[in-house]
Amino acid sequence: MLHDFLPICREDMDKRGWEQCDFVYVIGDAYVDHPSFGPAIISRLLEAHGYKVGIISQPDWKEKESVMILGEPRLGFLVSAGNMDSMVNHYSVSKHRREKDSYTPGGEMGKRPDYAAVVYCNLIRSAYKDSPIILGGIEASLRRLAHYDYWSNKVKRSILLDSQADLISYGMGEKSIIEIADALNSGLDIKDITYIEGTVYKTDSRDKVYDAIMLPEFYDIRDNKRKYAESFFIQYQNAGPLSGKRLCEPYTEKLFVVQNPPAKPLSMQEMDDVYALPYMRRWHPSYDALGGIPAFSEVKFSLISNRGCFGGCSFCALTFHQGRIIQVRSHESIIEEAKMLTEEPDFKGYIHDVGGPTANFRFPACNKQLDKGACPNKQCLFPQPCKNMIADHRDYIKLLRKLREIPKVKKVFVRSGIRFDYLLADKSREFLRELCEHHVSGQLKVAPEHISDAVLQRMGKPEVSVYNQFVKEYKAMNQKIGKEQYLVPYLMSSHPGSTLKEAIELAEYLRDLGYMPEQVQDFYPTPSTISTCMYYTGLDPRTMEEVYVPKNPHEKAMQRALIQYRNPKNYDLVYEALKKAGREDLIGFEKHCLIRPRNIGYGRPNGQGTGYAKGGNSAAKGGKPWAKGASEKKSAPAKKKTIRNVHKKKG
């Protein structure tokens, strides 16, 4: 087998002696042949099963000839918008156009259309009327049934209908895509492929659908928010691969969209096989002159050790995409890849990450999940850890130790995020010690997201007391081992359930820490999350309780400004928010106040000159004490001055 990039033009096909591809894969990202990029996995897996796959990356969506450069494939077209939903890729939460596309050569914006999956499929259909089209990737996966679309502020039909595709392969897709390919190769018509797990198809008769839960009709959920919430929660309860049922969504008397149960999780051997495929492990050389692909630098020296997440955060779509059952690679597979990284000419001795959606998950949450799946109506960690959950870091510790022993490896970082509540649920603190001693570079990023229990409850996150306990133990462990290391908390504003009251609670918490975040993430309503359902309907689909949702742009700006209350640019918004909430007690000269009265000065009252807190975070003055990574250098005195107050009072 020729070890090279897959064909992107006729000349490449001729080099391989191909007259026709079996599949042509149209993708919204640049072509990067690396297992962190979904199209690379799917195309290499098909190749391993004997299929000829050609790649058309970022075609000109205004010209149908752009999807014809490899000719019509023998079996069909595969389509993916890319590693991100194209709308998230293009727009900020305030719906402003982003300036950079990290999955495009040189970071150039504008090389893919909005709603790329729909546009590409319709372009192919205009060129090849009868060629099968199989739609995959995260954009299709999370829009596989009727869904609320934040950017148009509408409930949209299943992407299967608007795209004119024949099938959706949802989730990670390795199992379903091979079954689809084998069925097509055997001569089966695409319209008869209705039985494969992890797929969505359409049919003209309800009688053809068996053993399915009927969802409310599309027009009912479009016009009735309560019906939408009810439908969403049925989908959520059936997102598990071992417990999920077939779902049928009616549109008319002769149009039904059917979601088959999710594909089964990959075994450890299957995961190893996926990551052992002959990837080139770099971007296509045609991008060299343009500066390459920015997103690749983030993952080039990182290792994926697991998939799935039983954390169950309300704002995360992993439940609908990768699922809640953890799938892992063996130590041998990961170590072999790590050794390959050390042979790269630009390897500096640092493995940037070993993890996945949650780094410290290495096994399913409990033994029951192995044969019965995740509980449809219960979370593993929320509101408290389930009594059946097994919190054990021993395997992950062994893996990290083996990686540290590899010649040429200087340091192994854990950056993809840990669940601190899962860490605390482990009776042993061996992992916390290992983490602090070997895998943190001065700062550990964690995601409490908020500190108000009312908001955390809607987020599906643990109570703030759990985070405070972790802060306390993290500080104590670093003192014990003689290291000066800090926590950098990720925080989210304007999540459903957050009023100005809760936003002010968060500001007061940050005041007591002497910390102001450089960046704040506004809640972003993306398809197929509980939080997005709450945002659209004003109802928590788990309980059908009404939820306050901050939607007004000005109120959202106030909530965001409160988190960065020390920034002089935010003074007017913070002042207005405090007045509106009846919290004038926080405007004044006392130590507990957030800002001074008007025309006196900005910031906290107990500082000097400009009114900033003594010894406080210099980010309030425009500095940048929060290092982005190990490579950023800072003199010891400066570092001590700027971050010594973080988590000083709490914990």
Mean pLDDT of 32-45: 97
* pLDDT tens column, 224-259: 999 999 999 999 999 999 999 999 999 999 999 999
Mean pLDDT of 134-146: 98
pLDDT interval class at 519 (50, 70, 90) = confident
* pLDDT tens column, 10-34: 999 999 999 999 999 999 999 999 9
Q: Which long-range contacts (CB under 8 A, 24 or more apart) does 389-395 make?
A: 389/365, 389/425, 390/363, 390/365, 390/366, 391/422, 391/423, 391/425, 391/426, 391/427, 392/363, 392/426, 393/360, 393/362, 393/423, 393/426, 393/428, 393/430, 393/431, 394/428, 394/430, 395/362, 395/363
The confidence score (pLDDT) of residue 600 equals: 60
Q: Is pLDDT at 61 greater than 70 in this prediction?
A: yes
Alpha helices in 289-392 (DSSP H): 296-299, 318-321, 331-342, 369-372
Q: Is pLDDT at 618 greater than 80 in this prediction?
A: no
The confidence score (pLDDT) of residue 199 equals: 98
Residue whose entry in the numeric block shows the structure tokens 């709490």: 650
Domains and CATH numbers, the chain: 10-198 (3.40.50.2300)
pLDDT interval class at 633 (50, 70, 90) = very low
Taken in order 73, 75, 81, 82, the sign of the CA dihedral is negative
* pLDDT tens column, 272-302: 999 999 999 999 999 999 999 999 998 999 9
* pLDDT tens column, 171-194: 999 999 999 999 999 999 999 999
* pLDDT tens column, 326-370: 999 999 999 999 999 999 999 999 999 999 999 999 999 999 998
The confidence score (pLDDT) of residue 516 equals: 84
Cα Dmax for the chain: 79
This prediction has a pTM of 0.90
